[in-house]
Amino acid sequence: MDLDPGRDYPLAARRPELLKTPTGKRLDELTMAAVLAGEVAPEDLRIAPETLRLQAQIAERVGRPQLAQNFRRAAELTALPDELVLSIYNSLRPRASTKEQLGEIADELESKYSATLCAQLVREAADVYERRDILAREDGR
């Protein structure tokens, strides 16, 4: 899809037909009446990876490549269980993990979830943490 930021952004207002929940519901189906009728489940309120990729395309078109990359990584993260996302977040704190542990996280992201962009970020973090001496030590100190 070839999005034009001037014509298509914001997507929810100008291109709502492109946006669906991970369960396939359209935005216009997410109403208070539908919630009260029990027709909207928590899964319906999550963002779909496709929506994040569309946002990445818009960001790139307006010259924000880092934001675009963040949207693409976020799209990958939608496939992960929430608990794993929080665990990875905590593992990326300075001195929370060894380089080997971060490498294992990256390997799992890549092999189990096909989250190659997120795996690359974790590996980059491990290298930066090593240069800055903010990795956890093997001896636990």
Q: What is the pLDDT of residues 111-125, one digit of tens each?
A: 999 999 999 999 999
Q: Which CATH superfamily is domain 79-140 in?
A: Propanediol/glycerol dehydratase, small subunit (1.10.1510.20)
Confidence of residue 141 (pLDDT cuts 50, 70, 90): low
* Cis previous bond, 10, omega within 30: yes
Q: How far apart are CA 110 and CA 104, in angstroms?
A: 10
Q: How far apart are CA 30 and CA 40, in angstroms?
A: 7
Domain ranges of the chain: 1-77, 79-140
Per-residue pLDDT at 138 = 82
Give the residue-averaged pLDDT of 24-51: 96
Three-state SS string over the chain comes to CCCCHHHHCCHHHHCHHHCECCCCCEHHHCCHHHHHCCCCCHHHHCCCHHHHHHHHHHHHHCCCHHHHHHHHHHHHHCCCCHHHHHHHHHHCCCCCCCHHHHHHHHHHHHHHHCCHHHHHHHHHHHHHHHHCCCCCCCCCC
Per-residue pLDDT at 1 = 82
Confidence of residue 140 (pLDDT cuts 50, 70, 90): low
Residue 79: pLDDT over 60: yes
Q: How far apart are CA 118 and CA 124, in angstroms?
A: 10
Predicted model pTM: 0.90
Share of the chain above pLDDT 90, in %: 96
Confidence of residue 82 (pLDDT cuts 50, 70, 90): very high
